[in-house]
């Protein structure tokens, strides 16, 4: 059932084979999804860093965000850029790979090796496209749990992640509380807000309005909705920053010119920057994956399946929580982290909560914010002492 | 203890030590207004309690979490209502009651959340305070922090007698009380009276629901 095997690249880039581990789940144990469908064949692509200790007590599961993947602390095989959490994960860093065994898996529905809409549907022999079932954050976590079982890890020392990664961390603590020693949701929330859903809808509409999207069937037509996906990324990218960051980085500075050109070229640096973000993104991300993963975030509401009362989701939890938010994050503002904290207090859970002062917006969880690293490290050290992780 | 002993000390402020002495080992403790976490850290490492903290200042919270303590940013006046009843063996309010907007609501919450509450405060009936006001005609300045009337967070100072009266009014039982004089000597407050209120600079009370 479980086997390692080489596999093609979802993005169908010629000559590129993704490095790393694969865990294949076969038809005998289909993954049952929240939408009612099940995936009879599921590959999970994951990376690990550091060594699992003898009593298997030092494993940290890192959950990636919407546009992230499993390449946490190594050069990305497609973009060639450094890993997305290189300042967090590594020897001597907050998630110290000399001390902890760090695991990160590409989410279900993704496009970096784990089964998603750009993969071949075994039923038809063609790419899934919109035939791929709708997935949820809980489904992503179900798949990760199978991987953690496969790795023989009874209890994760820590489950953490930012943004959608934080949603998964919270879902882990609710779905498998006995498997989670500490849970560190960063710049996250227990549900997607109306504003967040609204921004995602703009992105999805941009993709679906691109004629090259072909009703989701673009791979069969040998096309890709580059313009739509780029616009979706541009709009989303604004929400990851803050006004202060945009002002500091760009102000009203002009791009390679002394005065405005009285046209619709990228006169301003901020326009040029966003266009670059958009066009770079389409080289490494699948448009349908973007639709499915944003939808999974929209559907996320931990309280809804617990009678609308978030505290009920956490009742009886023994996990230690450290909720982290950033002052300038307007996409997942501190008030939403505070709701999680209040719910945890209501069941007298062991919770720490820090709001980090920074003007870097939602993306602060990816950036060099020393106070963030220091508090996260302190929390982990306290928990490691408690658990006896050397 | 562990590798962190350089930063950890078993010597804490005398009034904090009095509070700590009232806490049974291996109990569940919530420290409201835990500041930099000195008391919480002591209780966790020397009394093996399961300890949590609430602190108003974000800087204090971050310092606590950096040291591995479970602390959240919160306000005693507004956030205690979120906690379930009987969630802790002890709820501690150390040098914080005077800074709350409504000490009555806070005291009721303390004895609801905890089987016991431990409250400590500076006694405004202490003879030096009285002398300062009577002789100089000026508000006393908190000596430890040098805070004047306009910058002290303590908006509701009280005396030992005031506090005992309030507990009676709120139907909160006083299990024990201690007054601490200037030389660090303690006096039991079995029947808190005139002398305790005059010579006690600090007071610590162990409270519970009747």
Domains of chain B (ranges, CATH numbers)? 14-124+158-208 (3.40.50.150)
CA-wise closest residue to A48 among A70, A67, A77, A65: A70
Report the DSSP pairing between strands A101-105 and A156-162. unpaired
B82 to each of A170, A334, A352, B100, how far by Cα in Å?
A: 20, 17, 15, 17
Q: How far is A184 from chain B (nearest CA, A)?
A: 12
**Torsion, CA A345, CA A351, CA A356, CA A361, rounded to 10:** -70
Q: Is A141 helix (H, G, I), strand (E, B) or coil?
A: helix
Q: Does A377 contact B65 at a Cβ distance shorter than 8 Å?
A: no
Active site residue A329: yes
B32 to each of B88, B103, B114, how far by Cα in Å?
A: 12, 13, 12
For residue A131, what pLDDT is reported?
97
List CB contacts of A16: < 8 A, sequence separation 6 or more: A9, A77, A78
pLDDT at B8 over 80: no
Active site residue A175: no
| Nearest-by-Cβ selection for A353 from B50, B67, B73 | B73
> Which of A185, A358, A378 should one mutate to test binding to chain B, selecting the residue with the greatest count of B CBs within 10 A?
A378
Record the tokens describing residue A319, joined without a space. 């996990």
- Tens of pLDDT, residue by residue over A65-119, are 999 999 999 999 999 999 999 999 999 999 999 999 999 999 999 999 999 999 9
| Nearest-by-Cβ selection for A341 from B2, B72, B84 | B72
List CB contacts of B129: < 8 A, sequence separation 6 or more: B123, B140
Any idea which residue has 């150390």 for tokens?
Answer: B94
Q: How far is B151 from chain A (nearest CA, A)?
A: 24
Measure the CA–CA gap between A103 and A70, rounded to whole angstroms.
8
Kindly state whether A280 is in contact with chain B, defined as any CB-CB distance less than 8 angstroms.
Answer: no
Quote the percentage of chain B above a pLDDT of 90.
69
Encode burial over A29-63: b for 16+ CB neighbours within 10 A, e otherwise: eebebbeebebebbbbbbbbbbebeeeebbbbbbb
The answer to whether the beta carbons of residues A134 and A36 sit under 8 Å apart is: no
Measure the CA–CA gap between B27 and B43, rounded to whole angstroms.
10
3-state secondary structure chain B: CCCCCCCCCCCCCHHHHHHHHCCCCCCEEEEECCCCCHHHHHHHHHCCCEEEEEECCHHHHHHHHHCCCCEEECCHHHHHHHCCCCCEEEEEEECCHHHCCCHHHHHHHHHHHEEEEEEEEEECCCHHHHHHHHHHCCCCCECCCCECCCCCCCCCCECHHHHHHHHHHCCCEEEEEEEECCCCCEEECCCCCHHHHHHCCEEEEEEECC
> Which of B72, B86, B114 should one mutate to test binding to chain A, selecting the residue with the greatest count of A CBs within 10 A?
B72
Any idea which residue has 């498998």 for tokens?
Answer: A176
For residue A319, what pLDDT is reported?
98
Record the tokens describing residue B159, joined without a space. 């005396």
- Tens of pLDDT, residue by residue over B152-178, are 888 999 999 999 999 999 999 999 999
A28 to each of A2, A133, A142, how far by Cα in Å?
A: 11, 19, 16
The answer to whether the beta carbons of residues A44 and A25 sit under 8 Å apart is: yes
* pLDDT band, very low/low/confident/very high, at B4 (cuts 50, 70, 90): very low
Residue ranges per structural domain of chain A: 21-192+306-387, 196-295
- CA-based max dimension of chain A: 67
Matching fold, domains A21-192+306-387 and A196-295? no
Record the tokens describing residue A176, joined without a space. 């498998």
Q: How far is A77 from chain B (nearest CA, A)?
A: 35
Given 3.10.20.30, 3.40.50.1820, 1.10.357.140, 3.40.50.850, which CATH number is that of A21-192+306-387? Answer: 3.40.50.1820
Q: How far is B47 from chain A (nearest CA, A)?
A: 14
pLDDT at B150 over 50: yes
Record the tokens describing residue A260, joined without a space. 């405005």
Q: Is A11 helix (H, G, I), strand (E, B) or coil?
A: coil
For residue A29, what pLDDT is reported?
85
CA-wise closest residue to A279 among A227, A323, A314: A227
Q: Which residues pair with A161 in a beta bridge?
A: A185
The answer to whether the beta carbons of residues A211 and A364 sit under 8 Å apart is: no
Active site residue A43: no
Cα angle vertex A144, ends A138, A149, to 5°? 125
Chain B contact residues (CB < 8 Å to A): 2, 4, 50, 52, 58, 61-62, 64-74, 79, 82-84, 87-88
Q: Does A348 contact B84 at a Cβ distance shorter than 8 Å?
A: yes
The answer to whether the beta carbons of residues A189 and A167 sit under 8 Å apart is: yes
> Which of A183, A325, A337, A354 should one mutate to test binding to chain B, selecting the residue with the greatest count of B CBs within 10 A?
A354
The answer to whether the beta carbons of residues A62 and A105 sit under 8 Å apart is: no
ipTM score: 0.84
Measure the CA–CA gap between A48 and A51, rounded to whole angstroms.
8
Measure the CA–CA gap between A91 and A86, rounded to whole angstroms.
10
Residue A268's Cβ-side half-sphere holds a number of Cα atoms within 13 Å equal to 9
Q: Which residues pair with A49 in a beta bridge?
A: A102
CATH topology classification for A196-295:
Rna Polymerase Sigma Factor; Chain: A (1.10.1740)
Q: Is A353 helix (H, G, I), strand (E, B) or coil?
A: strand
Measure the CA–CA gap between A13 and A224, rounded to whole angstroms.
12
Cα angle vertex A180, ends A311, B56, to 5°? 50
- Write out residues in chain A with pLDDT < 50, as ranges: 1-9, 14-15
* Cα-trace Rg, chain A: 21
Record the tokens describing residue A33, joined without a space. 């999804």
> Beta strands of chain A (E only): which ranges?
21-25, 31-32, 38-39, 42-49, 59-62, 89-90, 95-96, 101-105, 156-162, 180-186, 320-326, 350-356
């Amino acid at each position: 059932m479980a086997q390692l095997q080489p596999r093609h690249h979802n993005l169908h880039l010629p000559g590129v084979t993704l490095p790393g581990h694969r865990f294949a789940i076969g038809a005998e144990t289909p993954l049952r999804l929240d939408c009612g469908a099940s995936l009879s064949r599921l590959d999970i692509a994951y990376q690990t860093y550091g060594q699992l200790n003898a009593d298997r007590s030092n494993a940290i599961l890192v959950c990636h965000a919407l546009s992230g993947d499993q390449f946490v602390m190594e050069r990305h095989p497609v973009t060639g850029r450094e890993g997305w959490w290189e300042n967090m994960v590594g020897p001597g860093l907050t998630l110290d790979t000399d001390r902890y065994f760090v695991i990160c898996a590409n989410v279900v529905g993704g496009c970096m090796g784990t089964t998603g809409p750009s993969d071949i549907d075994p039923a038809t022999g063609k790419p899934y496209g919109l035939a791929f079932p709708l997935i949820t954050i809980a489904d992503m976590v179900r798949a990760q749990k199978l991987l953690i079982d496969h790795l023989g890890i009874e209890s994760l020392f820590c489950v953490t992640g930012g943004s959608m990664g934080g949603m998964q961390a919270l879902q882990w603590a609710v779905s498998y509380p006995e498997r989670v020693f500490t849970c560190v949701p960063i710049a996250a929330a227990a549900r997607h807000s109306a504003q967040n859903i609204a921004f995602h809808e703009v992105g999805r509409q941009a993709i679906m309005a691109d004629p090259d999207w072909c009703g989701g069937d673009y791979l069969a037509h040998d096309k890709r909705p580059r313009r739509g996906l780029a616009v979706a990324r541009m709009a989303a990218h604004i929400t990851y920053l803050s006004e202060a960051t945009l002002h500091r980085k760009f102000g009203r500075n002009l791009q390679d010119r002394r005065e405005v050109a009285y046209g619709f070229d990228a006169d301003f640096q901020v326009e040029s920057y966003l266009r670059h973000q958009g066009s770079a993104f389409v080289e490494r991300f699948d448009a349908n994956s973007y639709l499915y993963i944003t939808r999974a975030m929209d559907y996320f509401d931990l309280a809804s399946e617990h009678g609308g009362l978030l505290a009920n989701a956490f009742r009886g939890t023994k996990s230690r929580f450290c909720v982290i938010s950033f002052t300038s994050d307007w996409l997942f503002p501190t008030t939403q982290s505070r709701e999680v904290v209040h719910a945890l207090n209501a069941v007298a859970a062991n919770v720490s909560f820090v709001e980090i002062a920074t003007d870097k917006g939602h993306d602060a969880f990816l950036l060099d914010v020393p106070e963030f690293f220091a508090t996260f490290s302190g929390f982990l050290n306290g928990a490691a002492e408690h658990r006896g992780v050397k | 203890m562990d590798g962190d002993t350089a930063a950890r000390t078993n010597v804490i402020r005398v009034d904090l030590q009095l509070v700590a002495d009232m806490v049974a080992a291996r109990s569940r403790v919530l420290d409201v207004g835990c500041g930099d976490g000195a008391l919480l850290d002591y209780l966790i490492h020397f009394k093996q309690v399961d300890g949590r903290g609430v602190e108003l200042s974000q800087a204090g919270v971050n310092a606590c979490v950096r040291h591995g303590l479970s602390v959240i940013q919160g306000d005693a006046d507004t956030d205690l209502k979120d906690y379930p009843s009987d969630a802790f063996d002890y709820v501690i309010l150390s040098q914080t009651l005077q800074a709350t907007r409504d000490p009555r609501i806070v005291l009721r919450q303390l004895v609801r959340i905890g089987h016991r509450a431990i409250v400590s405060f500076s006694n405004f009936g202490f003879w030096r305070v009285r002398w300062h006001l009577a002789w100089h005609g000026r508000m006393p300045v908190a000596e430890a922090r040098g805070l004047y009337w306009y910058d002290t967070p303590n908006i509701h100072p009280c005396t030992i007698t005031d506090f005992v009266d309030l507990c009676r009014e709120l139907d909160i039982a006083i299990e024990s009380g201690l007054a601490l004089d200037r030389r660090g000597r303690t006096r039991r407050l079995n029947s808190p009276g005139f002398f305790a209120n005059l010579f006690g600079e600090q007071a610590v009370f162990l409270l519970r629901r009747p």
